[in-house]
Homo-oligomer: A and B are copies of this chain.
Amino acid sequence: MRYLITFAYDGTYYNGYQKQPNKKTIQQELEKVLTKINGNKDVSIVATGRTDSGVHALNQKAHFNLDKDIKLSELQHSINNMLPSDIYVKKIEQVSDDFHARFNVKYKEYIYKINMGEYDPIEKNYVHQYNHKLDVAEMERALKYLEGTHNFKSFTKSDDSKNDYVRTITQASLYRDAKDINKIIISIIGTGFLRYMVRNIVGFLIEVGEGKRKSSDVFSIIKAEDRTKAGKTAPPNGLYLKDVFY
């Protein structure tokens, strides 16, 4: 039986989503629990993609197979009971055997939270602290220029060698937190993302907000296909995988 789970996690104390030897990862915690439920027969899970160390997820999704056909509510309950408190399965569904959590993705939405107001120690792992006002209108213009199908090589991890750096951003926007005018939330929806792409875009956007660059610099940066032309990589703690659409 193939199952699809929707899960949230606090990525603060993990070495990212993806399993690695001798490191604490989200995938490892999930597989450990599922293997137990599967009568100690190994279970591998396939998520929509990795998230890096310190990055959070509100609605990550993954599929896996179990030998047994377990009532969904019971299965969800068992998994959550065994998982550490910083990972939580919100929903579980049965899917057909050919459903694939990664290949079937249509869109993903990432959000990035920036606090331009006073530092709040309670939120230190959940928002990027930026201590000055940013030119939010200019940042919004840059986001609009990023929409569409482009070669995002300048915005990916510098040592990531791929054949294809072309990705499509279907919507890129920015809004204020409903409760706190000093907090802005950047939302980027796309069909696929390169490694560090959102954080590198945000690093560039911050320089735009600081007045160090213009929104229209997007075009020359994209054209350059050169990581050194974009800004710094924004820190992971402000980034959330918000939604995945099939």
Supply 16 further A-B pairs (C-beta < 8 A) apart from A8-B120, A88-B120: A8-B121, A8-B122, A10-B121, A10-B122, A10-B124, A56-B122, A85-B124, A86-B124, A87-B121, A88-B119, A88-B121, A90-B118, A122-B126, A178-B178, A178-B179, A179-B179
A9 in the interface, Cβ–Cβ < 8 Å? yes
Q: Beta-carbon contacts of A142-178 to B below 8 Å, as 1s and 0s?
A: 0000000000000000000000000000000000001
Copies per assembly: 2
Taking CB atoms, residues of chain B closer than 8 Å to A124 are: 10, 85-86
Q: Report the contact-size class of chain A (Cβ under 8 Å from the partner).
A: 10 to 19
Taking CB atoms, residues of chain B closer than 8 Å to A122 are: 8, 10, 56, 58, 126
Q: Beta-carbon contacts of A71-86 to B below 8 Å, as 1s and 0s?
A: 0000000000000011
**Measured between alpha carbons, how far is A120 from B10 in the docked complex, in Å?**
9
